[in-house]
Structure 1
């Protein structure tokens, strides 16, 4: 029987992190499915599921996606501000742009909101500099040093190589990097790992960064508990809303159209003694009976208002629990003032500020790993609040009367650090030109440098 790997050996870390990653992925796959609209079918009696399966599949209204997108849509990095002089801001922003992190960060924020966390990997380039890539939480997991949540002990990146059909993983330790692969395991089986050698690289080579090269984008972290999905408390209500919709659709199918009835008729029969339906009911046909006592009527159609109110109540529950504005989910706005809209979005804005605090930690660690000191990489976010241009200009004009510097007003306007610097230079250039014009008007044109001095007549 093979002996278990030695504690803290590369093989021990590989097996430990692989097991933890598989467990976490299995648990969070449910959130991913619900975000994509692949919900569990509403509960029905087993005998009724087959006839109504089409209706059950039509009953899934995806509010989970709206809840996540309302948050992630307002998480946008505008730039960086540093506490030191020089071009540190420009260096950080150039690194951000070179790695396409305008879109890459959005992918990371989205996966973090769905599954609870995601990662950014920092890799040194052979030609110099650093590559930063967003990593999916089903492919990466990290573990901190016991007793120190901010110091990472190890990380594992896992993926399937479609060219070779091998399962590959890379183990990152502060001192070294180890690469493994294994034939794709059978269903439920464990991979049989072996060393993966890459041309031009030494197996177990040195980790150039000297640290585990991942920044974690954490969503809703808690002490002594892992990060959590935004959908954790939404899924039960989503299932309840789907059940309400399914019940309404089955009622529509069976009783939404008024049933017809007739009395006092002699029902004809065929040669086999089977009754024949005497009428073919349609909107363009009339019912006629020769029997003197014949009467016709119809039953009342099913009232669907109760189902609609129940669904609306479910949506209001989702809005209250997730701090999502109700009009985002209901899709209707009736006579709402600007103040009412702002009050409706207050909970969402507060939630965004909370989420950003923890996302900043991962972003700042990532930039530090890429050679940008933490004092040179303070994250500047775009404002999550939506205000009319008139309201914003009015507020800024009032702030300017209090002596607030123009650069601060521009920042409140929503300008990026790069735009603020460009506007500042343009203002300085315009001021210099204006001062030059004033001086010329006052003292006249300056004589050429090589002109002879003009002597006053005696």
Structure 2
């Protein structure tokens, strides 16, 4: 079968489909670790089946905590534009109309797990009212930049399985056109046999009204020559160590934690076949007795589990150090920790959140500009990732106000969204207008006239 011409729609389709499958195969590992589907700890094959239940119980999922600690502090509060930093109402309205309060959280989560996620912008078509922005899973979408210009996308592919028809569907996005394909779901290891997917009322190879690839990648900790990477990339091996330590501890608990008894100086009883039998049925509520005068009883020391517990704790501390996750999140220990100590423990996580946000906000701003609702200077406003008590925050803001910091800046530091700041500003202006109107009326309004007393009646003699 002849190969398609370079940069033809078929060439881009096959190229991006291959890259998507390869990347999904690599990142499926991190998705499994997040979902606590870790590989079972190592054990000899002859012992795996009898002890499978113990092995499955040994999986302690610290990977979910690592990801959720980051994603839980990535929350968009609004958009600002203009020199005065006023709220961009059009951008926020589109954000709300597309349900991106929740949708963005899904995209951030997948980006943290697999390294990449996407936002797809679709202009109004048919019954669709307004621009539509949807989060796309990294196993169903991929882009490729122009060589030498990583910010300009040359092509993008969206792939999904239609459960109603059993067909594998794909849409190729090029800057000047859209091409739609379909194929029967391929068997494992086989390549799909693509055909054109015709849509009623739409020509194949339809024009792209946006004039650019509408897929925007959300990258988690990208590098200059590498795409985004999973938050779990460096710590899955440590998770395996923890699972192995827990499995060994549970084996020890099963067979050596209960003190083993011993006896000497007595004759072992036998059954009718002259085979030795167990002389005692040991239990908590039973005692051991022997008629032999020389019999002696004793017990071995129970297995010490301290080494297993310390080993597990050390591995958890390694995860905390590598991922900048506060240790008390993973260890669950808050004994005698002051507010200053807690804040210091979370400093690494806060720094990581700010660092991850820099790459995400660039993608969000480009998406809103592509949708035609955000100005060139629009920026994303995030909710603060720092958790402070209300007393601490109020005290800091009062001190800042004494230095002449504008009130609206204090509102931002308080955590007010751009929409709330706009509303508060309007309320202040309305109150000022009412106050000024009252002062003007008091100064220049009509003076109240005194009621004249009736003249005394004439005397009639």
- Which TM class, normalised by the smaller chain length? over 0.9
Write the distance in 1 (CA, Å) between the matches of 2:204 and 2:447. 74
Question: What CA RMSD, in Å, does the superposition of the two structures yield over aligned residues?
Answer: 1.8
> Could you tell me whether the CA contact under 8 Å between 1:267 and 1:275 is conserved in 2?
yes
Q: Which residue of the partner structure matches residue 23 of structure 1?
A: 22
**Superposed displacement of residue 423, structure 1:** 1.0
Q: Which residue of the partner structure matches residue 48 of structure 1?
A: 47
SS at match of 2:122: strand
> Could you tell me whether the CA contact under 8 Å between 1:61 and 1:242 is conserved in 2?
yes
Q: Size of the alignment, in residue pairs?
A: 448
Indicate the larger mover: 3-12 or 257-266. Answer: 257-266
Matches within 5 A, 1:73-92: 73-83=72-82, 89-92=88-91
SS at match of 2:376: helix
Tell whether 2:140 aligns with 1:134.
no
SS at match of 2:11: helix
Matches within 5 A, 1:36-115: 36-83=35-82, 89-115=88-114
Q: Which residue of the partner structure matches residue 234 of structure 2?
A: 233
SS at match of 2:266: coil
SS at match of 1:170: strand
Q: Deviations over 1:332-360 (max 9, x none)?
A: 11111111111100000001000000001
Write the distance in 1 (CA, Å) between the matches of 2:399 and 2:438. 31
**Superposed displacement of residue 437, structure 1:** 4.3
Aligned structure 1 segments of 4 or more residues deviating by more than 6 angstroms: 85-88
SS at match of 1:375: coil
> Could you tell me whether the CA contact under 8 Å between 2:91 and 2:374 is conserved in 1?
no
> Could you tell me whether the CA contact under 8 Å between 2:80 and 2:86 is conserved in 1?
no
**Superposed displacement of residue 444, structure 1:** 8.4
Write the distance in 1 (CA, Å) between the matches of 2:434 and 2:262. 92
SS at match of 2:91: helix
Q: Which residue of the partner structure matches residue 253 of structure 1?
A: 254
* Alpha-carbon distance change, 88 to 195 in structure 1, aligned in 2, over 3 angstroms: farther
Q: Which residue of the partner structure matches residue 154 of structure 1?
A: 155
> Could you tell me whether the CA contact under 8 Å between 1:92 and 1:376 is conserved in 2?
no
Runs of 5+ in structure 1 lacking a partner? 452-458
Runs of 5+ in structure 2 lacking a partner? 450-461
Q: Deviations over 1:151-203 (max 9, x none)?
A: 00000001101111111100000000000000111121110000000111111
SS at match of 2:88: helix
* Alpha-carbon distance change, 276 to 409 in structure 1, aligned in 2, over 3 angstroms: same
Write the distance in 1 (CA, Å) between the matches of 2:338 and 2:439. 49
Tell whether 2:422 aligns with 1:421.
yes
Q: Which residue of the partner structure matches residue 297 of structure 1?
A: 298
Q: Deviations over 1:246-268 (max 9, x none)?
A: 11111111101101111122222
**Superposed displacement of residue 368, structure 1:** 1.1
> Could you tell me whether the CA contact under 8 Å between 1:268 and 1:278 is conserved in 2?
yes
Q: Which residue of the partner structure matches residue 145 of structure 1?
A: 146
**Superposed displacement of residue 53, structure 1:** 1.4
> Could you tell me whether the CA contact under 8 Å between 1:144 and 1:152 is conserved in 2?
yes
Q: Deviations over 1:34-68 (max 9, x none)?
A: 00000011112222222221111111100000000
**Superposed displacement of residue 138, structure 1:** 0.3
Tell whether 2:386 aligns with 1:379.
no
Q: Deviations over 1:98-128 (max 9, x none)?
A: 0000000000000000000100000012255
> Could you tell me whether the CA contact under 8 Å between 2:177 and 2:206 is conserved in 1?
yes
* Alpha-carbon distance change, 344 to 87 in structure 1, aligned in 2, over 3 angstroms: closer
Matches within 5 A, 1:237-386: 237-386=238-387
Q: Which residue of the partner structure matches residue 217 of structure 1?
A: 218
SS at match of 1:227: coil
Write the distance in 1 (CA, Å) between the matches of 2:367 and 2:247. 46
**Superposed displacement of residue 231, structure 1:** 0.3
> Could you tell me whether the CA contact under 8 Å between 1:83 and 1:375 is conserved in 2?
no
TM-score w.r.t. structure 1 length?
Answer: 0.94
> Could you tell me whether the CA contact under 8 Å between 1:88 and 1:376 is conserved in 2?
no
* Alpha-carbon distance change, 190 to 295 in structure 1, aligned in 2, over 3 angstroms: same
> Could you tell me whether the CA contact under 8 Å between 1:120 and 1:215 is conserved in 2?
yes
Write the distance in 2 (CA, Å) between the matches of 1:446 and 1:77. 53
Write the distance in 2 (CA, Å) between the matches of 1:288 and 1:245. 37
Write the distance in 2 (CA, Å) between the matches of 1:377 and 1:253. 62
> Could you tell me whether the CA contact under 8 Å between 1:84 and 1:375 is conserved in 2?
no
SS at match of 1:125: coil
* Alpha-carbon distance change, 339 to 350 in structure 1, aligned in 2, over 3 angstroms: same
Q: Which residue of the partner structure matches residue 453 of structure 2?
A: none
Q: Deviations over 1:395-430 (max 9, x none)?
A: 000110111111100000000000011111112222
Q: Which residue of the partner structure matches residue 454 of structure 1?
A: none
> Could you tell me whether the CA contact under 8 Å between 2:77 and 2:382 is conserved in 1?
yes
**Superposed displacement of residue 275, structure 1:** 1.4
TM-score w.r.t. structure 2 length?
Answer: 0.94
**Superposed displacement of residue 88, structure 1:** 6.7
> Could you tell me whether the CA contact under 8 Å between 1:255 and 1:302 is conserved in 2?
yes
Q: Which residue of the partner structure matches residue 409 of structure 2?
A: 408
**Superposed displacement of residue 86, structure 1:** 11
